[in-house]
Structure 1
């Protein structure tokens, strides 16, 4: 009869992929804690305005979309170089499809809208996920209008939260 699903960090994307891409799966509530749904474009714990960090980002841009890297390093599959959108859309083998970046897949959209609740948690001081926010091409506005979308935020770095916060804010969606 279905289940609730909770993913931490990249697990949030993988569970969303399960919901959107797998027929016959019935997820009631999908909880994504610190997920990178729009992808990442930064090196963890490396500020954007530091020259060394910019060099690392440039290096990643040169290799992340290489087919060998895409097929063997899962983190490359959610690298989203927003400065080279067409390269991202044509060379990333996972995220553009999942996010409906190339063409709108109505099946993906309807499966996501079929959730009771989609809970997205971001960490306001996240140094692992850059950028922190996600965008909508998936029907999130429809879900928000229907009361199905829940945005939560907690102070702290990536996946750092208290037991009290978790119990008060997440456990209700698992019942």
Structure 2
């Protein structure tokens, strides 16, 4: 959820880059680096993202000279120093154009919209920004952090023009979240946490909340599947769990990825279950049975193309430290 490029520690705590309300300046062009210098900087870049550098290599190795687009997590902003630094360095290291597309045109708007702009509008905003950037017209690779992974996934399934070739998803709630952010029903406060989730459950699926709270758009509470399918306006459509006219196109576009790399944090305390970052999730009825990704209904039925990618060898799962 709140994933900052400047966050520290492996626990997935909600630590975001310092808020500033200014436009970032383009980085000065650096002299050509040696192989050793480039390797060292890749490792530093990977550490800032809290992933291993080989994961980044896998995600971009088929991308060639394609541009790179970042989408940040909840509570962060493309205008924050940490996110801006990672974006700038990634382009310098790979020798490509890189940009971060957020949810607004300045830091306060970008941060606020991450909470109060629903996910469908965030995806539409992302698509408009992509299409307005001539440097992205031939396609790009994408890196999403937490909530930003769903923005990119939504873009791929709904638009993908220009196309995403490689997609690196870092600690994303890709299969949904079963509780409130930082509210883990299996922890020592599990009883209170589950009660809080139960209380907000009905409200989360109301039209008002679905239209104005982004995090409600990927809330999928076990035991509330009927309400989820009937009222959630975002995730059931990406998963093709409900009938809609664009279901075939969604699947075709997602399955067209050249490379999909899914990163899960070992000690994530922000999203529950943390395995959602690998498309694993609970069965529909309870918190008791956590299904691996290849046993979920979406995978078995190949509802949105994940099985197609896995069978083609185009998807990779990894854990961050």
| TM-score, length-scaled by structure 2 | 0.46
1:80 CA drift (Å): 0.5
Which of 125, 145, 149 is the equivalent residue of 2:311? Answer: 145
Aligned to 1:36: 173
1:25 CA drift (Å): 2.5
1:83 CA drift (Å): 0.9
Which of 54, 71, 75 is the equivalent residue of 2:211? Answer: 71
The reply to whether residue 47 of structure 1 matches residue 211 of structure 2 is no
Which of 257, 260, 266 is the equivalent residue of 1:124? Answer: 266
Higher relative contact order (CA 8 A, sep 6+): 1
Runs of at least 4 residues of structure 1 off by over 4 A?
A: none
Which of 230, 233, 255 is the equivalent residue of 1:113? Answer: 255
| TM-score, length-scaled by structure 1 | 0.82
Q: Is the 8 A contact 1:19 1:25 kept in 2?
A: no
Aligned to 2:198: 58
Q: Distance in 1 between matches of 2:269 and 2:166?
A: 27
The reply to whether residue 84 of structure 1 matches residue 224 of structure 2 is yes
Deviations 1:65-123 (A, max 9, x none): 01100000011101111211111011000010011111381211110111111111111
Q: Distance in 1 between matches of 2:183 and 2:222?
A: 18
Change (3 A) 1:145 1:23: closer
Aligned residues between the structures:
155
| 2:144 partner SS | strand
Aligned to 2:114: none
Q: Distance in 2 between matches of 1:142 and 1:26?
A: 18
- After alignment, is 53-62 or 64-73 more displaced? 53-62
| 1:7 partner SS | strand
Q: Distance in 2 between matches of 1:16 and 1:47?
A: 25
1:148 CA drift (Å): 0.7
- Bigger radius of gyration among the two: 2
Report the aligned-residue RMSD.
Answer: 1.5
1:59 CA drift (Å): 1.7
- After alignment, is 130-139 or 27-36 more displaced? 130-139
